[in-house]
């Protein structure tokens, strides 16, 4: 309990306090109360950036789900000892620094990079494709970074399902697909939602990928907050944006908990 207060409640409380004060001309906080920072956050410029972030992160989450669910399902079909190897392979990228993995994508995708040079060499394309420094590259980088966070909770949910339930469905005449759709998938919904939240949350706050793979041409809310603290020296406004993110994520968790409860209640 003590560390929850020290490491979670206090920092958020400090940020929340900052958001009601004014910025000093050269940084820091001037302790006179104002609500201007909140009004500013509703400016279409910043709402637009939030919209971009949510749209990109939702795309990432959806793609992670489409790739992650079949991957997790396939792993549960393996022999137990092979399952462990497969899970280690899923986590393996985390053993390398995130920044280095992101730079690796630059080496792969740049116009002088491996992919373009390979395609040029094979005569498939005549001019290098502009793969890097696009919103697509940002989605690609985030998807790659957070896909394991989708696979693991879905795997955990799937491996907990009693195999006899699926066998019973098939014995009663359901096709394999129907059994998957009507028996396995509903039982995996809570784990799937956890995976979606795990992917969406870090994606929406990420600022390294938009900077490196987006070439600084795509601004996400994480970049905006980072810039308020490190470049614009506007801590109060940065705090408002950070608080807005926290509120949004709490709502997201509440939604996830509610859906999970409903699904389990029906089961």
Q: How far is the CB of 146 from another protein (least distance, A)?
A: 23
The token duo for 214 is 């987006």
**Binders of another protein in range 116-155 (CB under 8 A):** 130, 132-133
Contact segment (CB under 8 A) with another protein among 3-11, 24-32, 55-63, 167-175 equals 24-32
**Binders of another protein in range 51-90 (CB under 8 A):** 52
Interface with another protein, residue 187, by CB under 8 A: no
Of 26 and 177, the one with the shorter C-beta distance to another protein is: 26
**Contact call for residues 204 and 54 (beta carbons, < 8 A):** yes
Interface with another protein, residue 208, by CB under 8 A: no
Q: Distance of alpha carbon 209 from its chain centroid, rounded?
A: 12
Q: How far is the CB of 103 from another protein (least distance, A)?
A: 10
Interface with another protein, residue 111, by CB under 8 A: yes
Interface with another protein, residue 26, by CB under 8 A: yes
Alpha carbon distance 167, 173 (integer Å): 10
Interface with another protein, residue 101, by CB under 8 A: no
**Range 236-240 contact pairs with CB under 8 angstroms and sequence separation of 24 or more:** 236/18, 236/19, 236/20, 236/21, 236/22, 236/23, 236/29, 236/34, 236/37, 237/23, 237/37, 237/40, 237/41, 239/15, 239/16, 239/18, 239/19, 239/37, 240/19, 240/37, 240/38, 240/40, 240/41
Binding-site residue total for another protein (CB under 8 A)? Answer: 28
Site residues, another protein (CB under 8 A):
24-28, 45, 48-49, 52, 110-112, 130, 132-133, 215-219, 224, 227, 229-234
């Amino acid at each position: 309990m003590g560390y929850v207060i020290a490491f979670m409640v206090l920092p958020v409380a400090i940020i929340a306090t900052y958001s009601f004060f004014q910025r000093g001309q050269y940084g820091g906080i001037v302790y006179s109360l104002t609500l201007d920072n909140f009004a500013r956050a509703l400016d279409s410029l910043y709402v637009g950036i939030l919209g971009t972030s949510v749209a990109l992160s939702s795309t990432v989450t959806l793609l992670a789900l489409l790739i992650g669910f079949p991957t997790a399902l396939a792993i549960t079909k393996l022999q137990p000892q092979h399952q462990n190897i497969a899970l280690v392979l899923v986590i393996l990228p985390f053993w390398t620094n995130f920044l280095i993995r992101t730079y690796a994508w630059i080496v792969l995708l740049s116009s002088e990079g491996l992919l373009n040079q390979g395609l040029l060499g094979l005569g498939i394309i005549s001019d290098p494709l502009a793969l890097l420094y696009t919103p697509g590259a940002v989605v690609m980088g985030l998807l790659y970074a957070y896909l394991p966070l989708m696979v693991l909770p879905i795997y955990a949910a799937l491996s907990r399902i009693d195999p006899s339930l699926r066998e019973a469905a098939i014995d009663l005449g359901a096709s394999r697909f129907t059994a998957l759709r009507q028996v396995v998938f509903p039982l995996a919904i809570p784990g799937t939602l956890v995976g979606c939240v795990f992917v969406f949350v870090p994606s929406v706050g990420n600022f390294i990928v938009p900077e490196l793979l987006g070439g600084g041409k795509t601004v996400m809310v994480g970049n905006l907050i980072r810039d308020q603290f490190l470049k614009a020296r506007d801590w109060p406004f940065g705090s408002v944006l950070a608080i807005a993110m926290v509120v949004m994520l709490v709502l997201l968790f509440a939604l996830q908990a509610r859906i999970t409860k409903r699904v389990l209640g029906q089961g």
